[in-house]
Amino acid sequence: MDMTSALTAFSALSQQTRLEAFRLLVTAGDAGMSAGDIAEALDVRQNTLSANLAVLLQAGLVRNQREGRVIRYFADTDGMRGMLGFLLQDCCGGRPELCQPLIEDLTCGC
Amino acid sequence: MDMTSALTAFSALSQQTRLEAFRLLVTAGDAGMSAGDIAEALDVRQNTLSANLAVLLQAGLVRNQREGRVIRYFADTDGMRGMLGFLLQDCCGGRPELCQPLIEDLTCGC
DNA sequence: CCTTCATATCCATAATTCATGAATTATGGA
DNA sequence: TCCATAATTCATGAATTATGGATATGAAGG
């Protein structure tokens, strides 16, 4: 993950519809969600959501897959990991005490 | 962390100077850096950096502290944690296998 | 084929964001 | 009090981004 990709990723998540869509896909997990279902869940117009999903795609934060007439979207964990890794790079250069509580906090019980 | 705060945080990190400044402060850790040093390190004008630091401040991603004539900035780990927690909320609803590798990948060796 | 459903793309307008220069505030030292 | 340094604030214009309507693509079914 380089600076440009990271910027694209953060930029993608800095808009309400996209952040909501991404979180929806994170909780949906491997099941993913169709574009239509996402649009309905978020109550946004079809073309607006489509444009926003395209932004998330280009940022590498989601993947999609055609299934007949529907297109199913999934959160891309690799992309998310790359972004977070870039952000936290060298966060604990010799200072585990800075990094450790953050990690623990993110384990969300699993 | 609510949606609005998360959006503010991601938006703050979606601009090159701010993302660079934030990463600089993450690696600087408890030592922090003065506004002037950050401006010099990133080669940006004082007022431009000041405006960008203000955005990071408002997003809760950095803190600052006056020390005589200089103002020292620090990465705010609580803010960062809040943002990441919001993003990953319910990422592993019953599916630890999705969340675990991500966490491990972020432990960056410490 | 023709229709219908699901989604994407094009285009114009509205809204937002950004860097910059000029001016301002705050601090410490002479 | 005066000056230099450190940093912030403000207004502006340029560039980017979001949105909605209309239209296009692509797949399934009759």
Least confident piece of the model among B6-15, B59-68, B93-102: B93-102
What are B25-65's pLDDT values in tens digits? 999 988 999 999 999 999 999 999 999 999 999 999 999 99
Q: DSSP labels for chain B? A: --HHHHHHHHHHTSSHHHHHHHHHHHHHGGG-EEHHHHHHHHT--HHHHHHHHHHHHHTTSEEEEEETTEEEEEE-HHHHHHHHHHHHTTTTSS-HHHHHHHHHHHTTT-
- Domain hosting B62: range is 3-106
CATH of the domain at B71: 1.10.10.10
Chain B contacts to A (CB-CB under 8 A): 3, 6-7, 10-11, 13-16, 19-20, 22-23, 26-27, 29-30, 77, 80-81, 84-93, 95-96, 98-103, 105-110
Proportion of chain B above pLDDT 70, given as a percent: 83
User: Structure tokens of B25?
Assistant: 């402060």
Q: Which residues pair with A66 in a beta bridge?
A: A71
Domain count, chain A: 1
Q: How many CB pairs under 8 A join A and B?
A: 135
pLDDT of A95 reads 58
What are A22-79's pLDDT values in tens digits? 999 999 989 999 999 999 999 999 999 999 999 999 999 999 999 999 999 999 989 9
pLDDT of B109 reads 43
**Residue B74 falls in which region: left (phi positive, over 0), alpha (psi -120 to 50) or beta:** beta
Nucleotides of C strand lying within 7 Å of any protein CB atom: 5-10, 17-23, 26-28
